[in-house]
Copies of this chain bind each other. A is one copy, B any other.
Amino acid sequence: MEKSKITKQSENFSEWYLDVVREAGLSENSEVRGCGIIKPYGFKIWELIKKFLSQEIEATGVENVYFPSLVPMENFEKEKNHVEGFSPELAVVTHGGGEKLEKPFAVRPTSEAAMYGAYARWIKSYRDLPLRLNQWNNVIRWEKRPRPFLRWSEFLWQEGHTVFETEEEAKKEMWQMLDIYAKVCENYLCLPVLKGRKSENEKFAGAVITSTIESMAKDGKSIQAGTSHYLGQNFSKVFGVKFLDRKGKEQFAHQNSWGASWRLVGSVIMGHGDDHGLRLPTPIAPIQIVILPIYRTDENLEELESAGQLSQKVSVMDFYINGLKVFENLQKNYRVKIDERMDLRPGFKFNEWELKGVPIRVEIGVKEVESKTAIIFRRDTMQRKIVQIENLEDEIKLAIEAHDKNLFLQALAFREQHTFRIENFSDFEIGVKKDIAGYFDVSWCEDPNCEKEIKEKTSAVSRVLPTKNENKLPKNSKCFHCGKPAKHDWIFARSY
């Protein structure tokens, strides 16, 4: 067996993550500090996630547009909280076309300030509403502590920007889009997520409400995997997005914005990966099935070659794989790769495809050809099953279903095992400092200052008020930290 180039998760989770990202060929650092190069295998995962997100978003009637990536700096200054939140992270263009610009531009960190001036021009009457637009683009937010996919200074995402007549409609859509993010995570990424809203401190700069989906990494930290914001009239008032309502009265519109990025790739890696590397859910796996002809064992290469038997084996196996209808069907219905490399030992190839997280491996050696069978290896369980060749397609279908279901259930079980009800702050501090911590279910006062203190002491913050707790009395009437009256049961955690 190859010596693994991957740190064990239990030794150092952060190192494990960097190792997997590098060794699986997902991405690497670029010469621009904090910005990554996404390599083909990593980019294909993102393209597949994007495909599902696109489908779901467009099915609700949203249309795609494109706005310039440069935003006049003065636009940022219109919304007070927005500028406070984003100005430390801006990249600023001061020269263009060989000259110093009269007014500098920011490269968009998000497009509220780029789009809403146009919205103000477009929207005159309630008949122009709702307006529901989306764009897929790159944004730049200067990051102090970059981390592949999760926190790069430049990232790809979609940002939806929608406008409504009423608060009610807008809030309904905010939750609808959050549900879409949750659905994509659960159905295609096999990742369970917690849905709910953010605290005052943790919400988007300029939002009235931020709702979030949170997925758990295998070190117990939380990943904000998508957010949907109700912006209220904060932006419509400063950008002048107003309309004549059904009674002919001028009103400021209610706005939302919602976004999901290639953080989702990071969520998948951290939520499913193990010490062997990636484990990819089938819907977003660039290669869903790898077919591995085993021309030889690790030991008998020279033996075979000297006996002149290797070429004979190859042609028999090639005939088996390329001549049978069952393999043809697989290649029609799945993203399949046949690994025909002759110069690598099977053990090396096993490791490589496990590292790359290919869900299903089909191994075919001499014995299989002779007995008209094949071996199906599942990445999730790392277990093999011998099947009759005529059943291969059906067996693979079942294996894929089981694989994806198992990924989801394992992640769900992991989250449940790493969610702890905490009643007092000293237990919380101890819990947070554990190597594998998790989610802390606490009754909390919701006071921003209380949260600030908790963060300073533990580096943990509130992640989400789960929707199911929104209308429930807290389990404890007092805040776990400050002892003031608790408002709801929240999830606190450390996060990426």
A contacts, CB < 8 Å to B: 28, 30-32, 35-40, 43-44, 47, 63-72, 75, 87-98, 104-105, 107, 117-118, 133, 137-138, 140, 142, 144, 153-154, 156
Contact A30 B67 (CB under 8 A): yes
Query: Residue A97 contacts which of B43, B96, B133, B144 (CB distance < 8 angstroms)?
Result: B144
A18 to chain B, nearest CB (A): 17
Contact B92 A65 (CB under 8 A): no
Cα of A64 to Cα of B42 in the assembled complex, Å: 10
Contact B96 A142 (CB under 8 A): yes
Cα of A44 to Cα of B135 in the assembled complex, Å: 12
Contact B92 A93 (CB under 8 A): yes
Cα of A390 to Cα of B65 in the assembled complex, Å: 38
A106 to chain B, nearest CB (A): 9
Contact A89 B95 (CB under 8 A): no
User: A31 and B69 in contact (CB under 8 A), knowing A40-B63, A64-B47?
Assistant: no
Contact A93 B96 (CB under 8 A): no
Would you give 21 A-B contacts (Cβ < 8 Å), ordered by A?
A30-B118, A31-B72, A31-B75, A32-B68, A36-B68, A37-B118, A38-B67, A40-B63, A43-B66, A69-B69, A69-B107, A69-B140, A69-B154, A70-B91, A70-B154, A88-B98, A89-B97, A90-B96, A92-B94, A92-B95, A138-B138
Contact B37 A68 (CB under 8 A): yes
Cα of A105 to Cα of B89 in the assembled complex, Å: 16
A66 to chain B, nearest CB (A): 4
User: A92 and B87 in contact (CB under 8 A), knowing A31-B117, A32-B68?
Assistant: no
A40 partner residues in chain B, CB cutoff 8 A: 63-65, 133
Contact B69 A138 (CB under 8 A): yes
A87 partner residues in chain B, CB cutoff 8 A: 98
A95 partner residues in chain B, CB cutoff 8 A: 90-92, 94, 104
A39 partner residues in chain B, CB cutoff 8 A: 65
A105's closest neighbor in chain B, by CB? Answer: B32
A324 to chain B, nearest CB (A): 25
Cα of A144 to Cα of B137 in the assembled complex, Å: 25
A68 partner residues in chain B, CB cutoff 8 A: 30, 32, 35-37, 154
A68-B154, A93-B107 given; name 10 further pairs at CB < 8 Å: A32-B71, A38-B67, A69-B140, A87-B98, A88-B97, A90-B98, A92-B93, A94-B94, A94-B95, A96-B142
Query: Which of A30, A66, A93, A140 has the most chain B CB atoms closer than 10 A to its own CB?
Result: A66
Which 10 pairs show the lowest CB-CB distances between chains A and B? A97-B142, A40-B63, A35-B68, A92-B95, A38-B66, A32-B68, A94-B94, A91-B96, A96-B142, A91-B93
